A and B are shown apart, each in its own frame.
Chain A
Amino acid sequence: MPLDTSTYTLALLRLDGRRWNELRRMTGQISTQSAAGADGSSFLSIGNTSVLCTVNGPAEIRNRNAANAAGLTTGGDDEASVSVEISVAGFSGVDRKKRGGDRRVLEMQSTLSSAFQTHLFTHLYPRSTISITLHVLAQDGALLATCINAATLALVDAGIPMPEYLVACTAGVTLDSVSELRSGEEESGDPLLDLNGQEEMELPFLTAATVGSSDMISVLVCESRCRVERVEGMLAVAVDGCKQVKEILDGVVRERGGKILQGMGG
């Protein structure tokens, strides 16, 4: 059933009751998989989307050529290469999916690896790899953004140096449906922060990642068609969302840090 956004104009509340500039509930944990031998790990959920991330490395390159051929790694000889693998659980979506290569997943992998390749201080670890593995456990929109945020947390956990958090968030824009005949008003469409799965299916949206709470954008992905005038608004809202996300991730890291310090003290 198509999402009917016409109630939005009644009270400016979205389908799940949020206002235009509200994020969904976002929770994160760090070092979730340390027992399993990962160098860094994290669990992050935004609304009903949740992703588990483990980081291994920096480690010695084992089979560079094979990795290059698979297109999973980037970077030259004088810096560490970042390889990303995303596995999407069959039960994560609404319909059960059979395992198999998905173009979108490959594209997300390369987006992530090129983003972190430039973001991390990879020059400190020449001729080594940092491998990031992401397990998508449930998806309900903002998948790429969740993956980026989870990877950031896991990389922090692994102790890999970086200048700032790399934080991501999505933003979309409402369409004006025919059923609402608002008169005279110039149609602009309202920007919306952090779309859920239902909204993503219906509305054009983009994913943006910024370096910390600055306005520097390092990832910008927009797969839906939308008018160029609306991009500006969406981008501004997404950047604003990234600032909120940064605070949340920072809180998760600090909480973890506090616990470690306590543990050391006691």
Chain B
Amino acid sequence: MPKANASIHQTVILTSLFFIAAPFVLSEGPNPTKGFPNGHYLVPDTNILLNAMDLLEQNTAFHDVIILQTVLEELRNRSLPLYNRLISLTRSEEKRFYVFFNEFRSETYVIREQGETINDRNDRAVRTAAKWYSNHLQESILKSRSKRKTPSIVVLTDDKDNRTKAKATNVTAYSLLEYVSQLEDADRLLDMVVTSQQARSNASAPAENIYPDYYSISKINTGIRAGTLHQGIFNVSTYNYLEGTVNVPAFDKSLIIMGRVNSNRAVSGDVVIVEILPQSQWKSPSTKVVDEETLNRNENPDAEEGESVVTEQERRALQDEVKKVHGKTSESHPQPTVRVVGIAKRNWRQYVGHIDGTSISKNKQTRKLETCFLLPMDKRIPRIRIRTRQAGELVGKRILVTIDSWDQDSRYPSGHFVRDLGALESKGAETEALLLEYDIQYRPFPKAVLDCLPAEGHDWKVPASTDDTGWQKRQDLRDLLVCSIDPVGCQDIDDALHARRLPDGTIEVGVHIADVSHFVKPNNAMDFEAATRGTTVYLVDKRIDMLPMLLGTDLCSLKPYIERYAFSTLWQMNDDAEILDVRFTKSVIRSREAFSYEQAQIRIDDASQKDELTQGMRTLLMLSQRLRQKRMDAGALNLASPEVRVQTESETSDPIDVKTKELLATNSLVEEFMLLANISVAGKIYNFFPSTALLRRHADPPKTNFEELSNQLKVRRGLEIDSSSSKTLADSLDRCVDPQEPFFNTLVRILATRCMMSAEYFVAGSQAYSEFKHYGLATEIYTHFTSPIRRYADLIAHRQLAAAIEYEPVHPSLNGKAKLEAICQNINVRHRNAQFAGRASIEYYVGQALKGRVIDEEGFVMRVFSNGFVVFVPRFGIEGLIKLKDLASPEPEGVYDEQKYILTTKGSREVSVALFDSVRVKIQDVLDESSSKRKLKMELL
């Protein structure tokens, strides 16, 4: 039996000691202020943390804070994001936040008394801990015999009762407002104090509850278990703010939530508990556009009394709906309608918006506290009531706010001001707003991250001597005629290619990917930063990198004429593009040329060019066309999304013109080989890491997703869509052509794309093999490998592949399933946000490019409502809503035939608009008042 554990044992103890790195001792000189000349430590209670995290994060105040375990745990149960923010505060050295585990200490542990609520018990625990702390400080100062005065312990709580009890036991307690008022920076900080409860408690009579109560937790739990209540994420329609949907696992189709009362204070994104309404109250999804701005323009934010949830106008809008449903019960299909009875989790974040100028007094000089409305940029978010002293200054600015609460007696949620981003429509403010809206980390890289970069900086070179450790197990591929093909002006070159004919008549094809994993080692600060960022975000005028510039655009980037480390995938293929052999290796390459797609195309097409590099490119093109054909035969989808490019002036990056992206054969050349590399790598890493390989899947879309599109096509054009497999879908999409309208097919593809699920990263072990498949690409297994500079998933795939080919030992981070799953979840979200942000940026710039211009353009009707329709303009890749009232004034009367998707107007203007029709529209830019975005407004010609 083994008997040699003594030495091991010692090392264990040593490593454990190594962990005690964080300072557990309070700082010596806690910040003295006017009120506390001896310095003080703050002890906030849970509500303070819940309501005033922004305030605590301020750099000018709130130092030396003791976070009690009681409070920490309660916070974690209430809000995980806030908890995480608090944890990062405890890590910050300058803020000096300490965690004290009061529940684990006998002096500060309190037992819940009979009849005492858990909140009261926790409050008592806070007071006991504060009391103990002040005694403890006194004792230790006495012991040290220094002449210093004892710093005070200050409990922060907004609970009046708690403060009285604290006074009784001789504990100093302040409300947040009292505390902040005595700080130096009070004026600015006071704006951030949540005033809602205070304002409300001052109100003479309790206002009437206008929203129904939420169900109790036990009722919800039993309901969910019994299947009578359902849980899902609440989504608000972008066209109608009064209508939301909830997807619940129990049903295929989403459930509808109509109106304010039924959505009962849920904000888009919250996880809600819903109850199905009796069938008599079911409604069909709205065919009408309802805009909050136009309905409730004249509301007074101060109106507290007699506030009703449903304004008269809203009521009328709803009445119309009901009438319609009732009028045609036989033919229209009312869908299951539900109401919210509880909130499982609030997903409130910070919202960007601007102050509704009409909701404040015109006097700019006052510093008096005013209540005003914030109109969020995101139309699905209700307006937020904030109280501020600087209302006058904030008008016309983009500002950031958070929601604090939404009380039963308040029509709108109340929040507080966080930060001013700058003037509306200024490029800086708009870009920052966009980044904040999509939660994109855009701060410069911290020093810890930059410290992980190679010390040589831009002078780093591939070592000249092949004996260097960097060359170990690395193949010398510098002789190969490698070139890269990318968009114009691309700086972060991820990939390069080559092809050559081997003596035996077969073709060797190589895809060389930047060897980022050589520079970014697992689990250092740079790796963590990249993991949190997840992806590089491309906006029209700027790029927010995942990795520091030095790596992304220089050391990793496969720039031409210089030697670079690469990770190569080498295939042996025959002329039919059948793979005979595949090999992966780390390598050193020297790219001969960096082409743009156009340049590459010209070079290939130019018959006079007979050099080897061009021949190689021609071989690649030939093979890629065969590969593509094979893929299409297997049922890969050729999808379309409206893509446009904004041309900007090179120096000021002011937008000049908008162009649709051109697709050249060389685009698809690169794409095909990247797909092939990704598929080959996916197979390899899955073999080596059967349960932890990081893969990408695209689930089959549920059939119901295509129902509506299918029906629309059948009614309007007599066409069929068969979505039973990707192959049949691809074929049926190919048949959707209109000889007169070449764009019609693209339009259908765009609409079909919207019916699909989104592709996602996942860890192999979390799905059955049959679920791995990528529907769109019609491949069994897929991953992302080819863009490690701009995607974190690729970096993980690189590391896994390096381990799989035994280039390096398996790093533990590649085997932790839970950890990888968390990474997947994060990069999935980041990926989606990056896409949204990119699109929003294009939208903004398209607006700017067309500023002051009036253009006639062709568009297509892609959706019809009973009081308007949506037109898509391919030239600019934009879609716009045209409402009936925009057609002519007075508003013409519209008759909407839901069966045929035709909207006919009568009265002041007579037109008939049907789905998929081609229309001519006049495009003009206007400032959208509700979101203060410059938007394109369309008018029917």
Contact = CB atoms under 8 A, between A and B. Distances in A.
Interface in B496-541: 523-525, 528, 531-532
Interface of B: 1-6, 8-9, 11-12, 15-16, 19-20, 22, 24, 72, 76, 84, 87, 90, 99, 101, 103-104, 448, 523-525, 528, 531-532, 812-813, 815-816, 818-819, 822-823, 826
Interface string A220-263: 00000001010011011101100000000000000000000000
A12 B99 CA distance: 11
Contact of B20 (A7, A12, A216, A233): A12
B102 to A, nearest CB: 10
Nearest to B7: A236
Given A12-B20, A233-B15, A178 B8 contact: no
Interface residues of A, number: 41
B8 A190 contact: no
Nearest to A211: B1
B528 A10 contact: no
Query: Nearest 9 pairs between A and B by C-beta?
Result: A17-B104, A183-B525, A181-B528, A216-B1, A178-B822, A236-B9, A236-B8, A10-B99, A233-B12
B800 to A, nearest CB: 16
Interface in A157-189: 175-181, 183-188
Contact of A215 (B3, B20, B76, B87): B3
A255 to B, nearest CB: 26
A183 B528 contact: yes
B490 to A, nearest CB: 30
A13 B101 contact: yes
A217 B11 CA distance: 20
A4 interface: yes
Nearest to A16: B104
Interface in A119-148: none
Contacts of A181: 525, 528, 532
A97 B603 CA distance: 73
B524 A184 contact: yes
A184 B448 CA distance: 9
Nearest to A178: B822
Nearest to A1: B77
Contacts of A215: 1-6
Nearest to A4: B76
Contacts of B16: 20-21, 190-191
A236 B3 CA distance: 11
A253 B620 CA distance: 81
Given A183-B448, A183-B524, A239-B9, A188 B15 contact: yes
A9 B22 contact: yes
A263 B12 CA distance: 46
A104 B48 CA distance: 48
Given A179-B84, A232-B8, A237-B12, A227 B815 contact: yes
Contacts of B20: 12
B12 A7 contact: no
A236 B19 CA distance: 18
Contact of B12 (A10, A13, A191, A218): A191
A211 B3 CA distance: 11
B90 A10 contact: yes
Interface of A: 4, 6-7, 9-13, 17, 20-21, 175-181, 183-188, 190-191, 211, 214-218, 227, 229, 232-233, 235-237, 239-240
A143 to B, nearest CB: 23
Contacts of B826: 178
Given A178-B826, A235-B5, A239-B9, 7 more contacts: A175-B818, A177-B818, A179-B84, A215-B4, A227-B815, A233-B15, A240-B9
Among B1, B4, B90, B525, chain A packs the most CB atoms within 10 A around the CB of B1
A35 B6 CA distance: 44
B812 A236 contact: no
Nearest to B524: A184
Contacts of B3: 214-216
Contacts of B525: 181, 183-184
A215 B448 CA distance: 43
17 contacts: A7-B72, A7-B99, A9-B19, A11-B24, A11-B101, A20-B16, A178-B826, A181-B532, A183-B524, A185-B523, A187-B523, A211-B1, A215-B1, A216-B2, A218-B1, A233-B15, A235-B5
A179 B532 CA distance: 10
A17 B103 contact: yes
Contacts of B104: 13, 17
A50 B334 CA distance: 58
A175 B146 CA distance: 43
Contacts of B90: 10
Contacts of B528: 181, 183
B9 A190 contact: no
Contacts of B818: 175, 177
A190 B812 CA distance: 15
Contacts of B815: 227
B19 A177 contact: no
Contacts of A187: 523, 812-813
A240 B5 CA distance: 10
B22 A190 contact: no
A190 B524 contact: no
Nearest to A233: B12
Nearest to B819: A178
Among B16, B24, B103, chain A packs the most CB atoms within 10 A around the CB of B16
A3 to B, nearest CB: 11
Given A12-B19, A236-B5, A17 B101 contact: yes
Given A10-B90, A183-B524, A227 B5 contact: no
Contacts of A191: 12, 16
B1 A217 contact: yes
A218 to B, nearest CB: 7
A7 B72 CA distance: 9
B545 to A, nearest CB: 18
Nearest to B826: A178
B812 A227 contact: yes
Contacts of B101: 11, 13, 17
A191 B5 CA distance: 15
B19 A178 contact: no
B29 to A, nearest CB: 23
A229 B15 CA distance: 13
Contacts of A235: 5, 8
B878 to A, nearest CB: 38
A174 to B, nearest CB: 10
A7 B823 CA distance: 20
A105 to B, nearest CB: 27
A10 B22 contact: yes
Among B12, B101, B525, chain A packs the most CB atoms within 10 A around the CB of B12
Contacts of A227: 812, 815
A186 B11 CA distance: 15
A12 B18 CA distance: 12
Nearest to B816: A175
